Chains A and B, each alone.
Chain A
Amino acid sequence: MTAITPQIVKDHGLSEAEYARIKELLGRDPNLVELGVFSVMWSEHCSYKSTRVHLKKLPTKAPWVLQGPGENAGVIDIGDGDACIFKMESHNHPSFIEPYQGAATGVGGIMRDVFTMGARPVAMMNALRFGAPDHPKTRHLVSGVVAGIGGYGNCMGVPTVGGEVNFHRSYNGNILVNAMCVGLARTDRIFLSAAKGAGNPVVYIGSKTGRDGIHGATMASAEFSEDSEEKRPTVQVGDPFTEKLLLEACLELMATDAIIAIQDMGAAGLTSSSAEMGDKGGSGIELDLDKVPQREPNMTAYDMMLSESQERMLAVLKPGREKEAEAIFRKWELDFAVIGITTDTHRLVVRHKGEVVADMPITALSDAAPVYERPFVEAAPQEGAPVFDPSRDVMQSLVKLVGSPDMCSRRWVWEQYDNTVMNDTVQRPGGDAAVVRVHGSSKGLAITTDVTPRYCFADPYEGAKQAVAESWRNICAVGGRPMAVTDNLNFGNPEKPRNMWQIVAGVAGIGEACRALDYPVISGNCSLYNETNGEGILPTPAIGGVGLLKDVQRMATVALKRAGDALILIGATNGHLGQSIYLREIEGKEEGAAPPVDLSAEKRNGDLVRGLIEQGRVDTCHDLSDGGLLAALAEMAMAGGIGAQIALPEGAAAIPFLFGEDQARYLVAVPSANAAGILAEAKTAGVPAASLGVTGGDKIAVKDVGAVAIGALRKAYEAWFPAYLGGSELPPSN
């Protein structure tokens, strides 16, 4: 056996203190296999050692929450015996190295997290952040990531219904690929990962194990240097075909009562799935690696325990049910093997070629994993109202804004995703939230992902609140009742106190907003160490929100539907230009305070709007976010092919009023006869509301300011993506 040298410890990403603690927990030196197991279980990714103390502060409960954080995904009750299961997860680093496969396997991974709990995935979302468009790598990364997401999701037959794409130079060396999966199950058929009881068979299902994604650093150690080319850390290649079979086979097995516990093999594959299942079940697990289906000859115990081969699951069955389960997996032409047994020792014991190659108390891997209260340096939020040129042509600016990389149409992206398969997509990409019908019912799920990283950079706390508020607002805007969120906390190196502050403030902001909006966090993921040239990315706590519509027939969309409708602005406008898209794209400045978020105003305004939609009084609604009022109106006009004429309120300055990014606002269009009633109702509810003008014509016109044809807007809006990605970039394929 290889002696563990300080270099090997270092290569495994463990500190001296952590290594000392491992020796103490074992009462001896670990061998290399054990060291590998500790290194992944104690990694930031698996142990949440930098964030755990902070995540504890998030609100995770509500009467409708059936399962909060701690399982593969969170679960909410959506009535009638239906449960909605969802989670978001990042695949940032792999996607930067190999965009197609990195993104594809990210999609596959999050789907497994959801269907391992018994749900059929019904919708996918993705939140993507790329470097500056003119950075030499960006084009290739965008086309690869989008093709990879489509390549996997389309084959799975799950509609990809929305997401976000943003560009900023802080992601030049570290893109973000966050994928969210939403699934449906019955509330009494939810599967958990606690491997309870001793003497139960542990079964391996899915694809064979290869040397995929084994931690690069470990290759330096002696045992792994025979053939460095062969042992190079390999990128994981996704196999959506096998995953589709795995999905169907798992759902078929789940229809029986043979399963005690089931868990996907994600990061750190066999190691983390077995340790976590044993940990949750309070049991021990013994594995015999000779039984593991292997793709390559001569795999070592180390390889098998650390492999991140995709499309695999681990399950604990009731004794005697192996044959029945095996028949199902054989039918779907998948590998199936009994590779171990649960015990009452609470130890993880691994055998290979007749020898015990690892024997560790499971608590040493889980409970005893390090937890850090990393130091942080509080940074004052950016402040002040930026200076802008009030004489600029508003309509020219509008055309420029709608044609800018962060605001233009994402059609080029979503047309590569099958967004209507499963025949329940009632709101396709392009609106405020996607809506998928609960199959066979009139209910719908509203789904959205949101975060505005530039706000988070200026003010991590307000910015994180804003991300939650925007998600909540997007769901209200289609008429959904916001139910719960998943989060994907993308930050820089937590060992740098300034980044750690962003994390601490960000989690606090999310917690505050979720509490105020009764919008609990039921699952999530942290991705730290995202850096470009030693500088952290913009803090990017992406929020994935899910809401419920009682009746999808009553859903609102952004498209203007009739000429002659009254346009009503809901919410207060102060003309906040700090950190706005307008300021960045038109004035070339990233300055000022992020817009403050008044959570009680959010609640009041959103409740009013949702109520109007639910009552069938509003069918056209858009929340105001990037680009403010005029951008929202332009989007509504382009979507509906109907223009509008509005006027500024007395004394309002055009640019701040039209482009300011004040929060808690919506623009609705209603038949003019209904306008007075709605305005009166808003007044009673204490919600600022004002009639701005009417719909009609083929232009957007602002009285005394200017006008622009919808055609000109649309041309700019649709042009950027195809022009940016057309021609020179070869679409990647698998």
Chain B
Amino acid sequence: MNFVPNTKKEREEMMDFLGISSITELFEDVDAGIRNKDDLKLPEPMSEIEIIDYLGELSSSNHNMQDFACFLGAGAYYHFIPSVVDHLLLRGEFYTSYTPYQAEMSQGMLQSIFEFQSMICELTGMDAANASMYDGASALSEAAILAAKYTEKKSIMISKAVHPEYRHVLKTYANAFGLKILETEMENGLSDIKDIKTKLNDSCACVIVQFPNFFGNIEELKEIGDLAHKNDSIFVTNVVEPISLGLLKPPGAFGADVVVGEAQALGNPLNYGGPHLGFMATKEEFLKKIPGRISGLTLDTSGERGFILTLQTREQHIRRERATSNICTNQALNALAATIYLAVMGKHGLKEAAEICYQRAHYASKKISDVKGFEMRFSVPFFNEFLIECPKSPKEINRTLLSKNILGGFEVGKYYEEMENCMLLCVTEMNTKSQIDELVNAIAEGLP
């Protein structure tokens, strides 16, 4: 199969029109010396029947959260996705279109992007948002760059309670962009305010914390924001589990200047890590510094409301080396999923989902803490993730759990040496009480 509609006859007609007798003639500008001599060494082509078989099997050899009680989160969340989301996403007019350059033919995407921006602003308490970013980590990195450019400072202060892989990505970007990273310590599962205070200096373009942080804990945004502002640094808040914003006050209410993050949790499947959905929202004053697409409201020649990509002079295709960012293709369809998700969940649904997550997570944390040898590592308010200190290696525990079709928590020792015996558990509305009880039993069983 090559998905080429033209038949031999049609090709011949076209060649006649061009006055050539073989398509090869169209490649004469490619030096014979470099042209492929052999066929590509690829497996034999497959028909649709065969590929379904083949990839069906490959897919089956992967864990699939539907078959497990999943307590794994740590930046990728197994939440409920109302079936209406996928039904609408699969409309060809959406997913086979591209960036809405031609506004009059793309009002569907443009309006939905505008709605996405509005919802993100509402969730985060910000004034403006873009159409999406690759993921939470690149959004965070772009926020750091924005801050550095805006303040003309070179240091990025970031808490160790921010998702480790986000910090890795930030480091990669910072290396390239010539920025310096200043990591701040933690204290009882929260960003250590004293350390922030100590380390803050004139070179700090921004202060970045995560809310809830990597350990599910609710950072003291107000205090941190005030410190940042007092230092003339931009206060950036990273949100990776946005369902929490159904329950928590938006970062904007604590003075965040820029809120970035990952919105996979909103209507997007896990997809083994991607595509997920980065977002960036800012206060009004940063509007013209935002990277990426922005849909804006305008009028047409007959005075009717419509939407169009706006402030494009920020972007690479106009401004080239002076663009705010190089981003072009983004995560539009994932943003559409989030938009539809938030529309159908609505005000009540999102609040309720957050409440269920909270309640079930706290039930789980209590029950697990009741098991001898297991202890909550921190004693601060958390949302739906919590760190448990285990009496033996989390790896071993996870292996036992797996044999009972339970996917245990994230082994944080991978990224935090000092927490080698700790496991980060995540509970969502997908985890029933009986799943939690089974988890607790399974954990208790394995003990001496």
Whether chain B is bound by chain A comes out as no
Interface residues of A (CB under 8 A from B): none
